[in-house]
């Protein structure tokens, strides 16, 4: 799914921010609000789903593709695409690193958002490591990729969406102005979140989705003195020059 670019960017890439996730609907759950915030700033945003949903308890790959396109329109992303990694069996292999590296060279994002590196679902934490190593590989001058994918490229910043991880975030993004739209994007996945008997013990009941979504965002918002927020972790230490510009009141 691709939509026309609405705002210019000072960066050379086709995208400014690319969220990489294992499954269609992962981004909507963990950083959809953040993508809306970045889009409001005029940055070009995108989503790369590694799998297509063919092994899910609910829905089919074609249903989830249509739902993902609808969610992408709600999130106003510039670009969304899916690779063909096996759903439920994402592996960190050279072949898969090359597939992601090719996308990174083509789209050339400055910021990449990955899943947190620990979690319940193996596809999620494998995607975290796989995505990081693909970001590294994409910058290798002699990587075995055709020239048509573009010149070597490494994102400037790699962030980890930590909404479902029991860790203290490095920072949160205030999504208060976009919380309803974020929920709307998630609810486009009727095959996953509509009321049905299949997988009833695994999925959040439809009547509880709003409450849980807003409660989680409220928790992270309270940590930074805003109403609703999404949390992120970065591995590197931040550098600050002007102490007077530090956000979030201490007392």
- 91-131 residue pLDDT tens: 999 999 999 999 999 999 999 999 999 988 999 999 999 99
> Tell me, what's the pLDDT at 13?
72
> Tell me, what's the pLDDT at 94?
97
Integer Cα distance of 227 and 61 in angstroms: 35
* Of 50, 46, 207, the residue nearest 121 (C-alpha): 50
- 10 Å Cβ neighbour count for 153? 19
Integer Cα distance of 172 and 226 in angstroms: 10
Q: What is the DSSP letter of 99?
A: H
Report the CATH number of the 17-235 domain. 3.40.50.10320
Q: In angstroms, how far is CA 224 from the centroid of its own chain? A: 21
192, pLDDT greater than 90: no
**Spatial contact of 133 and 126, defined as CB atoms under 8 Å apart:** no
| Mean pLDDT calculated for residue range 133-161 | 95
* Listed range (60-64, 160-164, 176-180) with the worst mean pLDDT: 60-64
Task: Domain ranges for the chain, please list them.
Answer: 17-235
Q: Taking the model in full, what pTM does it have? A: 0.90
- 10 Å Cβ neighbour count for 30? 24
- Please report, rounded to a whole number, the percentage of residues in the chain having pLDDT higher than 90: 79
Integer Cα distance of 214 and 199 in angstroms: 23
| Mean pLDDT calculated for residue range 163-171 | 95
**Spatial contact of 116 and 125, defined as CB atoms under 8 Å apart:** yes
> Tell me, what's the pLDDT at 172?
98
Instruction: Return mean pLDDT, the chain.
Output: 90
- 199-218 residue pLDDT tens: 556 667 777 899 999 999 99
52, pLDDT greater than 70: yes
């Amino acid at each position: 799914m691709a939509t026309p670019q609405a705002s210019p960017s000072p960066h050379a890439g086709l995208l400014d921010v690319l969220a990489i996730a294992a499954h269609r609907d992962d981004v909507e759950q963990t950083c959809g609000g953040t993508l809306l915030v970045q889009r409001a700033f005029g940055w070009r945003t995108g989503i790369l789903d590694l799998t297509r949903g063919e092994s899910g308890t609910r829905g089919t790959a074609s249903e989830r593709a249509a739902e993902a396109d609808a969610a992408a329109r709600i999130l106003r992303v510039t670009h969304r695409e899916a690779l063909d990694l096996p759903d439920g069996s994402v592996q960190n292999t050279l072949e898969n690193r090359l597939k992601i590296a090719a996308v990174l060279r083509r789209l050339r994002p400055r910021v990449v958002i990955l899943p947190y590196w620990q979690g319940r679902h193996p596809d999620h934490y494998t995607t975290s490591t796989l995505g990081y190593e693909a970001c590294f590989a994409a910058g290798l001058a002699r990587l075995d990729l055709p020239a048509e994918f573009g010149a070597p490229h490494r994102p400037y910043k790699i962030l980890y969406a930590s909404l479902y991880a029991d860790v203290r975030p490095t920072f949160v993004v205030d999504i208060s102005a976009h919380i309803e739209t974020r929920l709307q994007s998630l609810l486009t996945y009727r095959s996953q979140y509509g009321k049905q008997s299949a997988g009833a013990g695994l999925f959040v009941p439809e009547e509880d989705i709003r409450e849980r979504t807003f409660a989680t965002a409220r928790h992270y918002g309270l940590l930074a003195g805003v109403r609703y927020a999404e949390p992120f972790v970065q591995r590197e230490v931040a550098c600050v020059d002007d102490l007077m510009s530090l956000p979030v009141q201490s007392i």
